[in-house]
Amino acid sequence: MMGHKRKRPTGVSGGDILGMAWSALQAYRLRTVLTMLGVVIGIASVILVTAVGQGVQVATQRQIQNLGTNLLQIQAGAPQVRGISQGAGNASTLTLEDAAAVATQAPSVARVAPYLTRQRQVTYGTQNTLTLVNGVDDNFWSVRQFQVASGRVFTPMELDTAQSLVVLGATVARDLFGNDSPLGQRVRIQGALYEVIGVMAPKGSTGGFDQDDQVFIPLKNMAGRIVGQNALQGVALSGFWVQVPSAEEMEAAQFQITNLLRIRHNIYPPQPDDFRINNQGDIISAFTAITGLLTVMVGAIAAVSLVVGGIGIANIMLVSVVERTREIGIRKAVGATGAAILQQFLTEAVLVSLAGGAIGLALGVGLAWGAAQMLQIPLVLAPWAIGAALLLSAGVGLVAGVAPAQHAARLDPIVALRSE
């Protein structure tokens, strides 16, 4: 005679636990939404901050690289008399002869593009604009990588004879002529008429400066008619751009130029230099380091909201355990183990956190796209940031759900059934 074996309660499958957790979350929808709100805000903030930070970094790097990573800019400083600075603008400490000496005597220099610049009104008919007027030579276009959209640039003969010709930047052409072609028209600069022979292709902004809001005239014309001779001898310059064959030779070129100009200007230690040298490669490296640190710092601050979200999850889950004490007692009475109760409440916490992470991710991407359009920067969504955000949201839910889940698993079923 075979006896009947009593079936012992078996563990609940993962699918059952997931289904019960989902049903419980649906039963308390308002509480679920409020619980995940902190995670939504935290994830959205992290995605937005990292995307904007990296977008700004990429945009600025592109702009600086458009200037050229193998460029040095030598700018005139303030002249000194008996060790006393006379102030910038009183005279130029750089001349065309200095630029020629650098071009011929510095072995690591490929090309030199001298320039002289002043801010002046440019008018056409009833239209006028305050812009930068630059005197340049024929090396300027290739060294600075400027391209002509229409028309042409100056010929060597026009540069040598200081012709009254002008090439407009895209912004100036639009401000003065709208959609009409400016070629062949005459604009007025400081009382003199200049024939428009070309319009440059748009270059965009760099560091807040609109590279298209400027015009170009022959350097000798600029020195003779717009500025006048403001150097002790020769043609005065605001500075000159130096193109180096490769980024590896930048340090050598800077060393050679510094020593050559010091000798030419009779500067000996401990006298300060009367010129400044800007290294484009150093600017890129410094800016990348600064923006990287700022992005990490602001991202860390944004991540604090995830911690706040985790605390919110823990609090709400503890409240949920108290509210569902009788439910827990019934489940234990019909055979549910403490491990099954633990798994269910942990699953609920992780589901809430993951749902909040997914919504926060979508919201963050949308906000990042809007910010990119508004700031006119590229939209950069780093895969590591998205993956980290989702893993972080799941981790927050798991950690925040441990204490409430353990509390629920340890409830005495008799005490739980007696609760109201």
What's the pLDDT tens digit per position in 66-105?
A: 666 688 999 987 655 555 554 444 457 899 999 999 999 9
Least confident of 13-17, 318-322, 392-396, 406-410: 13-17
| Sign of the CA dihedral with 74 first, then 75, 81, and 84 last | negative
Cβ contacts of 242 within 8 Å, gap of 6 or more:
71, 72, 73, 74, 102, 106, 109, 111, 112, 113, 253, 257
Q: How far is CA 71 from the centre of its chain?
A: 22
For the residues 322-327, what does the mean pLDDT come to? 66
Q: Is the pLDDT of residue 417 over 80?
A: no
Q: What is the pLDDT of residue 115?
A: 95
Residue 251 has pLDDT above 60, yes or no: yes
Structure confidence at residue 214 as a pLDDT band (50, 70, 90): very high
Average pLDDT of the residues of the chain:
79
Whole-number Å distance between alpha carbons of 98 and 201: 30
Q: Give the closest residue to 129 by CA, choosing from 168, 101, 164, 89.
A: 168
Tens-place pLDDT, residues 2-19: 444 444 444 555 566 666
Taking the whole predicted model, whether its pTM rises above 0.85 is answered as: no
pLDDT tens-digit readout, 255-273? 999 999 999 999 988 889 9
**Among residues of the chain, what percentage have pLDDT more than 70?**
69
